[in-house]
Amino acid sequence: MSNTYKDLQNSHPCYGGHKNHAGRIHLPVSPGCNIGCRFCDRTINDVEQRPGVSSKLLKPEEALTIIRKALELCPEITVAGIAGPGETLATDYALETFRLIKEHFPQLIKCMSTNGLLLYEKADEIIEVGIDSLTVTVNAVDPEIEAKLNRFVIYHGERYEGVEGATILIENQLRGIKKIADAGITIKVNTVLVPKINGEHIESIAKTVSELGASIYNIIPLIPQYELKDCKEPLCAEIDAARTRASKYIDVFRHCQRCRADAIGIPGEKDFGDQIYQRRISVKNTFSHG
């Protein structure tokens, strides 16, 4: 049986609001993606501090070596997570890695992030490998709004654009969330807040995912880049108002560090990524979506 939401509040840095001083390691084993978010800029570098960025890509077997090194440096690590730098379910590498973690590091909490396009059809595999915590990025539950945030999806080898692609994505996200939640796995939902596009839609997202079984909601302010580089970054008042509206339906997470896809250590306290990956430059703060 997976850890419950209450269990994770004591052992997972995201769910405990970083008050539990738990550590985590993100394993960058997922290279590609299957949707076209208008605000996403995935890259390999040593500098930026945001999701979608890592110093290198790992093979599943290499991830075990990295975990061993990380635990020596930071025994507080309780969570092994995979959040990119691409989409975790677009290839088999993430689930292969979690199978190896289940065998070699059974004490670690297994945490995965996904855009949810393949969530419903991969749900049985997710349950089978023993994922404890699943994050799904849901930026809209209305296809017209989603199409303004996402250009296309690649689904079973076919490209679907605009509202058609958005409809497929949302349907699979919501069906997948329900199936995973019904299996007892704790679900966090992320939404990238773009005030002029989904700002008035946050309450609908929160209500919908809560009814499907999600436990916690993370509203992340847009950093203007890529196709949405001309959009204004949300003001603090806009972020707070969105979180307040969402909190009528679901617990709201307010301490997101928007970690790299290869982050290692205790969020906000210690980071050992430079030592593990021998990064050339210390990481700077250029936050983006999570």
pLDDT in tens, 59-109: 999 999 999 999 999 999 999 999 888 899 999 999 999 999 999 999 999
| pLDDT band with cut points at 50, 70 and 90 for residue 57 | confident
pLDDT for the residue numbered 2: 60
pLDDT for the residue numbered 246: 98
pLDDT for the residue numbered 223: 84
Q: Rounded to the nearest 5°, which phi and psi values hold at 242?
A: -65, -45
Domains and CATH numbers, the chain: 5-277 (3.20.20.70)
Residue 228: CB partners within 8 Å, gap ≥ 6?
A: 38, 39, 149, 194, 222
pLDDT for the residue numbered 179: 98
| pLDDT band with cut points at 50, 70 and 90 for residue 284 | very low
